[in-house]
Amino acid sequence: MVIRSSSALLLLFCALIGCSKPIAPDSKPVATASESAPQTIKGTIGFSALTLTNPFFKVIADTMKEEAAKRGYDVVVVSAERDVKVQADQVNEFIVKGVSAIVLNPCDSQSIGPAIAAANKAGIPVFTNDIKYAGDQGKVVCHVATDNYQGGKLAGEAMVKLLAGTGGKVAILHFPQAESCQMRVKGFLEIIAAHNEKATGDKIDVVATLDGGGVRDEGFKAAKDTIEANPDLAAIFAINDPSALGARAALEGVGKADQVKIIAFDGQKEGKDAIRDGKIVCDPIQFPDRIGQMTIEQIVKYFDGESVTPEILIPSELYYKEDAEKDPELKSTN
């Protein structure tokens, strides 16, 4: 017998393979979530990070990618590794690729100007986060960052509290190429100066300001040089956690870890661990996830033709050992 009906053929096939329910001839398979067509990308955002070896900037990058994806945008992330020439080349590559917007952590707050101007000329809006562009050659739509000046003042207040009644010599591990670090040190020094104006026998003497590079190995070297020149050093203010941890390693190496106290800045996971373990006294902490999220929000607002605030500053908060001991982020990983 010849079966001419396609429906009959389908029913016979199902019977042969043991289908419990025949499939309607005209029905179409329903795609699963993994098989569904990808969301149409509205545009691409290029992000040149200062460095991705620092977990702080990686959190910013990851949050930007996640937030942008929710809104239909892709984020391409590259790392300039603190080299302004590399970053300028990355901006040029973004221009050639025709990205919709560019985000930078400027490797140098002044020297990145020509690259920003080139993006402006190409009609590509430029945004910055964490580190502010301080030049006048190019235009930045919006800057999103920690209130670094306020955070620096918090660090100064913590140092005054630490050395209250005794005073002592203090060193600063700086990263002067970054405007954000300039503001941290400025706020710190203002509080120290105000303390010294009314202090009697407990003045705080800033004896050295060295470039710790914002990284562990350079922080190690700077701290080693400082302690050799100032064997009676009482404390260090480091502009971020990596340089602070480098300083801690240097102090441990020369048996000065108990003598020289460290106040840092950031509140990265490794910094919080060090605070909990007594290796760092405290940090004014930042919120890199908020910075990343807010950056994307401002870019989307700009794309939608809405008004964008030129600068958005997120306050920092002091974080001590007692905060670390009840921090759910640390409890969940121990």
What letter would DSSP give residue 266? B
Angle at 202 between CA 172 and CA 231, to 5 degrees: 50
Q: Where are the beta strands (DSSP E) in 182-316?
A: 204-211, 235-238, 261-263, 283-285, 311-314
> Distance between CA 313 and CA 145 in Å, rounded?
5
User: What separation, in Å, do the N-terminal and C-terminal C-alpha atoms of the chain show?
Assistant: 72
pLDDT of the residue at 329? 86
Specify whether the CB–CB gap between 164 and 202 falls below 8 A: yes
The count of residues in the chain is 334
Q: Do domains 43-146+288-314 and 148-286+321-328 have the same CATH topology?
A: yes
pLDDT digit of tens for each residue in the chain (334 aa)? 333 444 443 333 333 334 333 333 333 333 333 333 346 889 999 999 999 998 899 999 999 999 999 999 999 999 999 999 999 999 999 999 999 999 999 999 999 999 999 999 999 999 999 999 999 999 999 999 999 999 999 999 999 999 999 999 999 999 999 889 999 999 999 999 999 999 988 999 999 999 999 999 999 999 999 999 999 999 999 999 999 999 999 999 999 999 999 999 999 899 999 999 999 999 999 999 999 999 999 999 999 999 999 999 999 999 999 999 999 989 765 5
What letter would DSSP give residue 282? B
> 148-286+321-328 is classed in which CATH architecture?
3-Layer(aba) Sandwich (3.40)
Residue 201 in tokens: 């026998």
pLDDT of the residue at 297? 98
> Distance between CA 268 and CA 329 in Å, rounded?
11
What letter would DSSP give residue 83? -
The topology (CATH level 3) of 43-146+288-314 is Rossmann fold (3.40.50)
Specify whether the CB–CB gap between 280 and 248 falls below 8 A: yes
List all residues 6 or more positions away from 265 whose beta carbon is below 8 Å from its beta carbon. 151, 152, 155, 184, 238, 239, 240, 241, 244, 283, 284, 286, 316
Residue 95 in tokens: 């221009």
pLDDT of the residue at 22? 33
Distances (CA, A) of 308 to 86, 106, 162, 231, 301: 29, 20, 41, 51, 7
Helical ranges in 199-264 per DSSP H:
216-229, 241-253
Query: Where do the domains of the chain lie?
Result: 43-146+288-314, 148-286+321-328
Would you state the torsion angle of the CA atoms of residues 209, 211, 212, 215, taken in this order, to the nearest 10 degrees? 150
Nearest to 263 by CA among 149, 130, 154: 154
